Structure 1
Amino acid sequence: MEFIWILFAFCCGLLAKVAKLPPSIGYLLAGFVLHFLGFTADDIILNLADLGITLLLFTIGLKLNIHDLVKKEVWLASLSHTSLWLVSGVIVFKFFAVIAIPYIVDLDIATSALVVFALSFSSTVCVVKLMEEHGEMRTRHGKLAVGILVMQDIIAVAFLVAATGKTPSIWALSLLVLIPLKPLIYRVISNVGHGELIPLTGFFVAFGAYELFEFVQIKGDLGALLGGMYLAGHYKASEITKSLLPFKDLFLIGFFLSIGFTALPTWEMFGIALVITLMLPIKFALFFLLFVSLNLRARTAFLSALALSNFSEFGLIVATLSQKIGWLEKEWLVILALAVSISFVITNIIYNFAHEFFALHKDKLNTYQRTKRLKEDQFDQPCDAPVVIIGMGRVGMGAYNALEQQIPGQVWGLDTDKEKVDWLNDNNIQAFTGDAEDADFWENVDADKIKLALLALPSVKDIKNITIQLKLANYQGKIAAIARYDDERAELEELGIDKVFNFYNEAGVGFAEESIGLYRQSTN
């Protein structure tokens, strides 16, 4: 039985990849096809789905900063959007009822509000996977979208507590003991080394936090998220995150398959789900207008709103609970599962063209932008140094240190992560905060003063987007980039990049060149 799931997941995932869609869309399709063929989800699939969501929330927490959640553009936008969506959604549902859309016509105001509430959440799985695949988790719009998702998760947990009448245990207060124990726990984690204990540490904290919260009658998913945030300040947080990625992606296949097993739809249900997805532009418009009204730049507002314009697996949890209580008919579970799946497909397809779309319609979208800018969105003007390294990760840092020794004072770094840039500046590294995929950024930079741009980024798509922006900015200097595989190298060279270094081969060459000096010293 397990091989059948693997076979269908692989074939449908490969089909989606060939069609240049994310494999997750293929996994959704595999779930529906398996269900249609008469298969049912057993405990293995459901357990994998739960494991995947728990690890996803934990890894989100590892990348979160509590200061990101208390920003007005996060908490106020999230609460305002939920309120406005409820009002707008109920009005739309009443319109659907007037034109006699099946199932919707039978809903009263209270039940309509419940369904609309279930549709108010954006998918944590979909958005985070989207941001990871595009290498945008650390960008301004990526962190904003994740912050909104966390706020929505808190709202959902509050609803589940209210709906079930299940209040946290008095023992929940004992969790506060973990705060003064933080230095001790950090010290223990510092001793786990770099081997198999690293992912095991992630599993231990993620599922330990889950079980602790469940024990005190608080939803375990919230515990996994807070467990990640608890460790976010540890220097091994990044290493733990990377070690968990393969497990998280594998387990999430179970989640996507499980959606297809929710129930077997009819064509009528499928049609109603399509009608409901017509509400996605409303969701996008509300997010976009709220973001720009809070003085966010139009590009940040546009990309964040587009990523969040989908329905959530959390909506299915809300609907399942409502159906058990008797507030909702079971047919709505199928309709909402279809609507969630369709919204995943729409978001994944449309977001692939988000940057290009914004570049084409930038002038029109910027008319919604307020003249006042938040402090975080005010660019520091880069210095006059002629060499810029875009992406200050391990490769970028290595390149910076090597070039700084040869041409001191002539190099500067650029990264989207402000916290990383602050740390670099504290360590006397000349770095600035900015998104090189943003056309507005290059309008504030004198490209004539740059003679060499090194693109030290892991995503080929990001490298291509930045190269396009450089050309649009009339950049006349040289461009160098890195690639992990030969096909990626050929793709970048076709784009016109002057020099593409193979990440693995060039590392070996550099290691040999550095080591040959030791050999010559030993023979003298």
Structure 2
Amino acid sequence: MLVILVSFAFGFGLALTRIGLPPMVGFLVAGFAFNMAGLTPPPGLDLVADLGITLLLFSIGLKLDVRGLLKPEIWLSSTAQMAVTTLFFHLVLLLGQLLFPSPLMDMSWQATLVLAFALSFSSTVFAVKILEEKGDLTAFYGRIAIGILIMQDLFAVLFLSASAGKLPSIWALGVLALPLLRPVLFRLMDMAGRGELFILCGLFIALGVGAEGFSLIGLKPDLGALVVGVLIAGHPRASELSKALFGFKELMLVGFFLSIGMEGLPTLGMFTAAVLLCLLLPFKAGIYHFIVSRFGMRARSSLFSALSLTNYSEFGLIVAAIAAGQNLISPDWLLVIAMAVSLSFAVSAPLGKNSERVHRYMFPWLTRFERDFCHPSDAPIDLTSIRAIVFGMGRIGSGAYDELTPVYGREVCGVEHAPERVDFNRAQGRNVILGDACDTEFWLKLQRDDKLELIILAMPNHHGNMYAAKQIHNLNFQCSVAAIARFPEEVEELSAIGVCTALNMYEQAGAGLARSVMQSCSLKV
């Protein structure tokens, strides 16, 4: 049975990627097809799905700036969005009871309020996947979207506790002492070395310390994985751990998407209800956009955040299950929510993929909602009067910066995405700004003039250098561009897109070492 399920997932995933949809939509369709074929899901699928979500939230925590959640554009916008969206769907469901009298709609106003609350959530799994594929997980609008989703998860914890009629264990207060555990977790990561032991260390921290630890004290396991991820995010190898667990996370999330489609066999009435719910997604996106724009975000950032959240959440299934267990709603709503979640993914995927096109089409109308002030993180980046820019202020980038300083003086600028590295370079007297060259928004906000003569791409990631080089080409920069690479094929790729000088840093390092030895030892050839 497992082989058949894998075949369904691969077949439908491959088919839908051919028409421009992400594989996850194919996995959802595969789950429905598997169920409609009368096949029995293999044992352990739900466990795999739960592990996928847990590891996803753990990986989010590894990249999360917890201080960002305390910003008004996060906590206040998410609270306002939850309240306004819940009210909107509540009124829609009450109107639906008048317009479409049917057994499915026969429920109390308390039940419609619970369903409205479920529909106000957006899918963390889907949004993170879309942002990862676009490379915008660290973009400003991406951080806003992720912050809102995390706040929604916190609301989810409160709802689950209230619906169960009990509060978390008194031991839950021990969460406040978790920072004391941080040195121990750091020590474990240092001792784990590399390879499979390092991967197991990550799984132990995510599943053992985080998920299971929170479960024992009556809190949501997924939240535990997120919290411990945040706890060790400051470790130098946090990014390495995220990459090491990437394959496990991706594989297990396939089980999650398959499981959504296996909730049951839908009827025509249920499918119609799910389609009608999906027709309301533009209103949900509009609520997101309007609320986020109140905090000074540009039309583009507000729209992109809204499009990332224009879907229904898998948490809606949990809420519906709780309501059905308490006889508030018919169990048929479980299938309606499952189909609405699946269809919303199919609707949201092309919107996210073509967000730039949507923005160009809607820009004249969207600008009406912009405020008179602009959020500091969304303001234009002024690099006028700068003659040389170095992207990536690590060891190579800072060395290049220092070599350029005698020539350009203060007219050279470094760009670095890591705040701590920006602070370090500024302390050394270098002119460095915070920016991510792998973020589309950075290039759109960049203001420059004709004085720019040279750009050096010194980022350690070849994909980052390639992306930046393509943006430089697309935006028609009239300056010389140099970049570093690790392998000959990377040098060829950079040269093919117009980089005038692409250096193999290993070869150059070897040549530099040889010259240094010859000079210091006064050797003659």
Aligned length: 513
Distance 1:420 1:5, change over 3 A: farther
Query: What is the identity, as a one-letter code, of the residue corresponding to 1:294?
Result: F
Which letter maps to 1:259?
A: I
Answer yes or no: is the 8 Å Cα contact 2:487–2:504 preserved in 1. Answer: no
1:146 deviates by: 0.7
2:353 maps to amino acid: N
Q: Would the alpha carbon gap of residues 151 and 135 (structure 1) be closer, same or farther in structure 2, given more than 3 Å must change?
A: same
Counterpart in the other structure of 2:453: 451
Contact 2:104 2:333 in 1 (8 A): no
Letter in 1 for 2:168: P
Distance 1:250 1:70, change over 3 A: same
**What is the CA-CA distance between 1:106 and the residue it aligns to?**
2.2
Q: CA 1:441–1:488 in structure 2 vs 1: closer, same or farther (change >3 Å)?
A: closer
Partners of 2:103 and 2:294 lie apart in 1 by: 36
- Given candidates 476, 479, 482, the residue that maps to 1:477 is 479
TM-align CA RMSD: 3.3
> What corresponds to 1:54 in structure 2?
54
Amino acid paired to 1:24:
M
Call closer, same or farther: CA 1:442–1:144 in 2, change over 3 Å. Answer: closer
Structure 2: 5+ residue stretches without partners = none
Distance 1:501 1:110, change over 3 A: farther
Q: Which residue of 1 aligns with 2:296?
A: 295
Matches of residues 118-517 of structure 1 in structure 2 within 5 Å? 118-208=118-208, 209-379=210-380, 381-382=382-383, 384-390=385-391, 392=392, 397=394, 400-401=397-398, 403-404=400-401, 406-408=403-405, 410=408, 411-415=412-416, 418=419, 421-426=422-427, 428-434=429-435, 442=444, 445-453=447-455, 458=463, 463=468, 466-467=471-472, 470-471=475-476, 475-478=477-480, 497-499=497-499, 506=504, 510=508
Contact 1:138 1:416 in 2 (8 A): no
Deviation (angstroms), 1:235? 1.9
Q: 1:244 to 1:423 in 2, by over 3 A?
A: farther
Question: In structure 2, what is the equivalent of residue 98 of structure 1?
Answer: 98
Instruction: Give the stretch that moved more between structures: 331-340 or 37-46.
Output: 37-46
**For residue 115 of structure 1, what is the amino acid of its counterpart?**
L
Instruction: Report how far residue 15 of structure 1 moved.
Output: 2.1
Say if 1:344 and 1:509 are closer, same or farther in 2 by CA, change over 3 A.
Answer: farther
Task: Call closer, same or farther: CA 1:297–1:79 in 2, change over 3 Å.
Answer: same
Secondary structure of 1:144's partner? Answer: helix
Change in Cα spacing, 1:352 to 1:523, as seen in structure 2 (3 Å) is farther
Shift in alpha-carbon separation, 1:53–1:485, aligned structure 2, 3 A: farther
Secondary structure of 1:258 counterpart: helix
Q: Which stretch of structure 1 is more off in the superposition, 458-467 or 354-363?
A: 458-467
Question: What displacement does 1:483 show?
Answer: 9.5
Deviation at 1:312, TM superposition (A): 0.6
* Partner SS state of residue 269, structure 2: helix
User: Take 2:254 and 2:425, find their aligned partners in 1: how far apart are those partners?
Assistant: 37
Partner Cα distance (2:336, 2:469) in 1:
39
| Aligned-pair CA distance for 1:121 | 0.7
Counterparts of 1:108 and 1:86, CA distance in 2: 16
Cα separation, partners in 2 of 1:519 and 1:165, compared to 1, 3 Å = same
Shift in Å at residue 480 of structure 1? Answer: 6.1
CA-CA distance at 1:230 after TM superposition: 1.2
194-203 or 183-192, which deviates more: 183-192
Matched AA of 1:292: S
**Residue identity in the other structure for 2:69:** L
Look up the SS of the partner of 2:478 in the other structure.
Answer: coil
> In 1, distance between residues paired with 2:419 and 2:360?
24
Aligned residue type for 2:452: I
The one-letter code sitting in structure 1 at the alignment partner of 2:301 is: T
Amino acid at match of 2:55: L
Question: Which one is further off, 12-21 or 326-335?
Answer: 12-21
Deviations 1:209-250 (A, max 9, x none): 111111111111111111111112222211211111111111
Deviation at 1:300, TM superposition (A): 1.8
Show CA shifts across 1:357-414 (max 9, x none). 3245434422311112333334553364433345x3xxx7465245335433655333
| Separation (CA, whole Å) in 2 of partners of 1:518 and 1:175 | 54
Q: Name the counterpart of 2:22.
A: 22
Structure 1 residue 72 displacement after superposition? 0.6
Aligned-residue offset at 1:119: 0.9
Deviates more, 1:457-466 or 1:442-451: 457-466
Percent identity between matched residues is 35
SS of 2:89's equivalent?
Answer: helix
Deviation at 1:314, TM superposition (A): 1.1
Checking the alignment, whether the CA contact within 8 Å between 2:107 and 2:329 is kept in structure 1 is no
TM-score by length of 1: 0.87
SS for the counterpart of 2:138 is: coil
Name the CA distance, whole Å, in 2 between partners of 1:486 and 1:270.
54
CA contact (8 A) 2:273 2:336 kept: yes
CA distance in 1, matches of 2:371, 2:442: 15
Question: Post-superposition shift, 1:34?
Answer: 1.2
Rounded to whole Å, the distance in 2 between the matches of 1:468 and 1:347 is 30
Q: Deviations over 1:421-448 (max 9, x none)?
A: 4454345554323466667965661242
Q: Secondary structure at the match of 1:180?
A: helix
1:479–1:404 Cα change, 3 Å: closer
